[in-house]
Amino acid sequence: MSETKTKDAARPKGAGEAKPDFVFFPGCSLHSTAREYHDSTVQSMAVLGITLEELDDWNCCGATALSSADSLLSYALPARNLAMTQERGLPMAVACNSCFVTLNRVNALMETDAPYRSKVEETLKAIGRRLDGPVEIRHTLHIIYHDVGLDRIREKVKRRLEGLKVAPYYGCQIARPRHEFSDPEFPTEMDDILEAIGAEVVRYDRKTKCCGGALMTTKEDVVLELNEQLLREAQVRGADLIAVCCPMCQMNLDAYQGKINSRFGTDYKLPVVYFTQLLGFALGLDEKAMGFGRGFVPAGKHLKKYA
């Protein structure tokens, strides 16, 4: 990323004078099931000098569910958000992996496939909007890693999470099909951030294996199996908790852990938290404000010694 941006990020901001760095697209989950992800993201990024401005009147990106139901709609819906971001004249920040992949899909179309592209443009025209080429879309994990940088994170850490063993679980849609991350299958950005706040990152080979996502609704049996494998590796590697960056992953691993235990006769008690919760906590933000209590599997006991 450009140096300017890093400078911007580091620049102290007086009240009201600064233009935000990104338009923030929270997505539906961050406003409901994943509110702790929303709060911890916005707050820790603010501490790190990045201001986000929520996209006004955003709509659902359609997720992969719509890609499956109606091709044109699955482009048109996220395109509205991109068009509005373009109007605002800022790059877009996204925290939800599913939104990230869906919005990027529109971007990819804007660069290729001309005939279909014009169809999408026509739908936008019907609502009086337009999209001129792709919009810069950034995952918040990537922004924190690149624009803020590890050095600055280390500088700002108030509580080093020394000794906390974390399994970094990225989920699939953050680095795939191919985005800005170091590798589509073995990205390392979250590992590095967690290390920068002092945590011990355990080896986690399944870091981008699928949790089944929305198939939990329709194919619960097999999706539970996938999540059991994910939990198993984390447990075998000795993780205290799993850090995630996607609301769907968090939900599947956390809310369904009980169901998994009863189905497979296991006894997992692995808290599943957003990496931003750990980051914010390390940066000195309040444990409660970071929403650690919202998880089904409590994480509190692992954090006590740092508080």
Partner 1 sequence: MEQAEAKTLEVIRQDAFDPAKFLEELDAFPGVDKIKNCMQCGVCTASCPLSHEMKETPRKIIEMIRAGMRDEVLASDTMWYCASCYACTVRCPQGISMAEVMYALRTIALRTARNLSAAFYKTFSDTVRRYGRMHESDLMIRFALRTNPLSLLKMGPLGLRMLAKGKMSLSVPTPIRGAKEIGKLYEKVAELEGGA
Partner 2 sequence: MPGPKIGVYVCHCGSNIAGKVDMDALREFAAELPDVVVSRDYKYMCSDPGQDLIKADIKEKGLERVVVASCSPRMHEPTFKRACQDAGLNPYLMEMANIREQCSWVTEDGEAATQKAKALVHSAVNKARHLEPLEDKTVPVDPKTLIVGGGIAGIEAALKIAEAGKEVYLVEREPSIGGNMAKLDKTFPTLDCAACILTPKMVSVAQHPNITLLTYSEVEKVEGYIGNFEVTIRKRARSIDEKLCNGCGTCQEKCPIKVPNEFEEGLGMRKAIYTPFPQAVPNKPVIDRENCTYYKTGKCKICERVCPPKAIRFDQEDEIITEKFGAIIVATGYQLFDPSVGPQWGYGRYDNVIHGLQFERLSNASGPTGGKILLKDGSEPEAVAILHCVGSRDTNYAEYCSRICCMTSVKFAHLVREKTNAKVYDLYMDMRTFGKQYEEFYNRVVAERDIYFIRGKGAEVMQDPETGKLLVRVEDTLLGVFREIPVDMVILNAAICPRPDAQEVAQKFGIQRSADGFFLEYHLKLEPMKTANDGVFIAGTCQSPKDIPDTVGQGAGAAAEALKVVFAGQVTVTPTTAEVRDTLCSGCRICIPLCPYNAITFDEAKGVAQVNEALCKGCGTCAASCPSGALRAKHFDNRQLYAQIEGVCAE
- Give backbone dihedrals phi and psi of 138, rounded to 5 degrees, phi first: -125, 140
**The binder of partner 1 chosen from 5, 80, 138, 142 (CB under 8 A):** 80
Q: By CB under 8 A, what part of segment 155-174 binds partner 1?
A: 172-173
Name, in order, each residue with C-beta under 8 angstroms of 54's C-beta and a sequence gap of 6 or more. Answer: 23, 24, 26
Phi and psi based region of residue 105 (left: phi greater than 0; alpha: psi -120 to 50; beta: remaining): alpha
Q: Please, which of residues 114-143 interact with partner 1 by CB under 8 A?
A: 116-117, 119, 122-123, 126-127
Long-range contacts of 10-18 (CB under 8 A, 24+ apart): 10/49, 10/152, 11/49, 12/49, 13/49, 13/51, 18/51
Which of 139, 159, 294, 302 is the binder for partner 1 (CB under 8 A)? 294
Chain residues 164-193 in contact with partner 2, contact rule CB under 8 A? 183, 185-186
Task: Give least dist CB 255 to partner 2, A.
Answer: 24
Told to check if 236 binds partner 2 by CB under 8 A, we report yes
CA 290/CA 300 separation, integer angstroms: 11
Q: Which residues are 298's β-sheet partners?
A: none
Per-residue binder mask for partner 1 (CB under 8 A), 174-203, x = binder: --xxx-----xx------------------
Q: Work out whether 306 is an interface residue with partner 2 (CB under 8 A).
A: no
Dihedral sign from CA coordinates of 220, 250, 29, 191 = negative
Q: Single out the residue of 74, 248, 111, 101 nearest to residue 177, CA to CA.
A: 101
Which of 232, 302, 303, 301 shows the shortest CA–CA distance to 267? Answer: 232
* Interacting residue with partner 2 among 205, 217, 293, 300 (CB under 8 A): 205
- The site for partner 2 (CB under 8 A) is made up of 183, 185-186, 205, 232-233, 236-237
- The site for partner 1 (CB under 8 A) is made up of 28-29, 31-35, 57-60, 62-77, 80, 101, 105, 108-109, 112-113, 116-117, 119, 122-123, 126-127, 172-173, 176-178, 184-185, 208-215, 217-219, 222-223, 226, 255, 259, 294-296
